[in-house]
Chain A
Amino acid sequence: MAIIETSQLTRTYGRHRGVEGLSLNVPRGSVYGFLGPNGAGKTTAIRVLLGFLKPNNGSAVVLGRDCWRDGQVIKQDVGYLPGDLRLYPWMTGEAALKWVGQVRRCDVMQHGRDLSQVFGLDLSRLVREMSRGTRQKLGLVMAMAHKPKLLILDEPTTSLDPIMQQRLHRRLRNMADNGHTVFFSSHSLSEVDRLCDRVAIVREGKLVTEQPLVSLRAEAGHRVTVRWKDDAAAEKEPPPFLKLSQREGRMWAGELDGPVDRFVSWLSGQPIEDLTVGPPDLEALFHHYYENGGEA
């Protein structure tokens, strides 16, 4: 069952673009990556999902309820970390956590303290004295302390150091394994590659593709290098599914379009000295989507 479902969701700001005809389907218990370059409409989509913005058209349903009408009920089971996090400067970490518990009418202190330990966060400090990274950690703790069914994170790792990013990724994976759903926007490809089960890519407010990461990996090309045993073999025409970027003497280097086994079959029986096949080049694929919207 989908925990987030949008259908032809459109939200624009006058002449400015927000999101247009966005249809998403986020399955329960998944880590869902929402990717796109800056200004692609990721934050706008998240704000519609949280009921901050009213859609111009289409529908947005979270946990089976309408985002605009039932925002209050939905948010009981949602944790949210804004992209540009600002907290009340007069609060300490402890007070912020206590305040979240009071507003949510539930005890979040114990789990909040556990999470603070995971992220190495000192709860006794005032928000105004915290660095950006520390505030981000506090924001994460505040969003996760009530063990939400759905966690919406808008570029959560922006100001975290690599060790904290790793800890957060482990935590998110762990949550998803326990049936929680994580929806997070990012423009970091490596992060999505490491963490996500499913990915949606948006560009200029429109959905470019939405599929499991496994399919994306299959779609992504592989970097290959072939070293031939003789000159005659090296001079022949490459197969149509291999785009050569380098051809020097007996060495070919290029990008493979499609599955590896097709290339291996083509090579069989030919005089090769060495063959290297790299992992799926997701970065190139993402760039392709970012720049061309998936069109060749």
Chain B
Amino acid sequence: MNRGLIAKSIRELWPATLLCGMLAAAFEGLIAFILPRYEQEMSLQILDMEFVRRIIEGMLGSRIADQIGPEIIGSIPWAHPIMLSLVLAHAVICCTRLPAGEVDRGTIDVTLGLPISRWQWMFTDSVVWVVSAMIVIAMALSGHLLGASAGGGRPLGLQQGALIIANLSGLYMAVGSGAWLLSSLSDRRGKAITATFVLIVVSFLVSYLEQFWEPARFAAWFSALSYYRPIMILRDGRWPVRDLCMLYGAAAVLWSCAAVVFTRRDLCTT
């Protein structure tokens, strides 16, 4: 890895990492602090309403059946659209920088004019990206633990925490790698961000609709969010092997495709 490239990536990623991490920590902390106070009320009253139950099912991406347990309440902060938006926004910001962002702002000529291989650049940037992703997720987890302990709730146990982090990281990597591929195919960062955003929204929608609408179940196979189900983890306490394989497998394939495209395509400011 190249020290200069690492320094540049860190300099460019830390503001977004800090911002997304702090917001995610604040959100997780707040929810973990507040939720226990309403847990009983939600269980008894709100979730008895069919419409609300459906909305929560859509949000969690799972059927919650009849029993309303603490795992549902515990999984809400991890599947809440705000939390997912913050984490996935970080992935999109990081992964559309190279090459689309560099071409777009015209800096690719200067950097590629230096003695680095494209592969080296992509690999270095990816390592910094993964580390920054871990920081954002770790900050969110810290926020949750702090909020739960301050609010008198039940924080995630070690195993539950590990399972949720692994699942969330898989989702993050899959979306980030997809954004990277779109960025590799594009010369405009705006286009890459828009395309990724559209895919995320469609994924949200499919994952939401599959709870109510039969045809959406087939499409759910292609939706990354269908493989992120914190409620199942909290309820079963088992590794979601199939979901993890799908998410990390997709991430590996998409990232490899992005690397192949990036190393082979023409690159210069337009």
CB atoms of B114 and A103 under 8 A apart? yes
Q: Residue-by-residue, is A115-126 near B (CB-CB < 8 Å gives 1, otherwise 0)?
A: 000000000000
Interface size class of B (residues with CB under 8 A): 20 to 34
Interface residue ranges of B61-115 to A (CB < 8 Å): 105-107, 109-115
CA distance A222 to B161 in the complex (A): 85
CB atoms of B107 and A104 under 8 A apart? no
CB atoms of B107 and A72 under 8 A apart? no
Residue A76 lies at the interface, judged by CB distance under 8 Å to chain B: yes
Residue A87 lies at the interface, judged by CB distance under 8 Å to chain B: yes
Shortest 5 CB-CB contacts between residues of A and residues of B: A102-B4, A86-B106, A103-B4, A80-B113, A82-B109
CB atoms of B107 and A75 under 8 A apart? no
CA distance A75 to B114 in the complex (A): 6
Interface size class of A (residues with CB under 8 A): 20 to 34
Q: Say which residue of A74, A102, A139 sits within 8 Å of B2 (CB atoms).
A: A102
CB atoms of B115 and A104 under 8 A apart? yes
Q: Residue-by-residue, is B111-137 near A (CB-CB < 8 Å gives 1, otherwise 0)?
A: 111111100100000000000000000
B residues in contact (CB < 8 Å) with A: 2-5, 7-8, 11-12, 105-107, 109-117, 120, 264, 266-269
CB atoms of A86 and B2 under 8 A apart? no
Interface residue ranges of A70-87 to B (CB < 8 Å): 71-76, 78, 80, 82, 84-87
List B contacts of A82 (CB < 8 A).
109-110, 113, 269
Residue A99 lies at the interface, judged by CB distance under 8 Å to chain B: yes
The verdict on A75 contacting B115 (CB below 8 Å), with A53-B268, A88-B8, A102-B2 known, is yes
Nearest neighbor of A71 in chain B, beta-carbon distance:
B117
List B contacts of A103 (CB < 8 A).
2-5, 111, 114-116
CA distance A90 to B107 in the complex (A): 12
CA distance A214 to B130 in the complex (A): 58
A residues in contact (CB < 8 Å) with B: 47, 50-54, 71-76, 78, 80, 82, 84-88, 90, 99-105, 139, 142-143
CA distance A206 to B97 in the complex (A): 35
Q: Say which residue of B7, B105, B114, B268 sits within 8 Å of A47 (CB atoms).
A: B268
Output the least CB separation between B194 and chain A (Å). 23
CB atoms of B113 and A75 under 8 A apart? yes
Chain A to chain B contacts (Cβ below 8 Å), 24 pairs: A51-B112, A52-B112, A52-B267, A52-B268, A53-B266, A54-B266, A75-B115, A76-B115, A80-B109, A84-B269, A85-B110, A86-B105, A87-B107, A87-B110, A88-B8, A90-B12, A99-B7, A100-B4, A100-B114, A101-B4, A103-B2, A104-B4, A104-B114, A104-B115
CB atoms of B8 and A99 under 8 A apart? yes
List A contacts of B267 (CB < 8 A).
52-53
List A contacts of B107 (CB < 8 A).
86-88
Starting from the known contacts A71-B117, A76-B115, 12 additional A-B residue pairs (CB-CB under 8 Å) come to A50-B112, A52-B109, A54-B266, A72-B117, A75-B115, A80-B113, A86-B269, A90-B12, A101-B4, A102-B7, A103-B111, A105-B2
Q: Say which residue of B3, B11, B114 sits within 8 Å of A90 (CB atoms).
A: B11
Output the least CB separation between A154 and chain B (Å). 9
Q: Say which residue of A50, A54, A73, A102 sits within 8 Å of B113 (CB atoms).
A: A50
Which of B2, B3, B112, B115 gathers most chain A CB within 10 Å? B115
CB atoms of B4 and A99 under 8 A apart? yes
CA distance A102 to B109 in the complex (A): 17
CA distance A100 to B266 in the complex (A): 23
Output the least CB separation between A136 and chain B (Å). 12
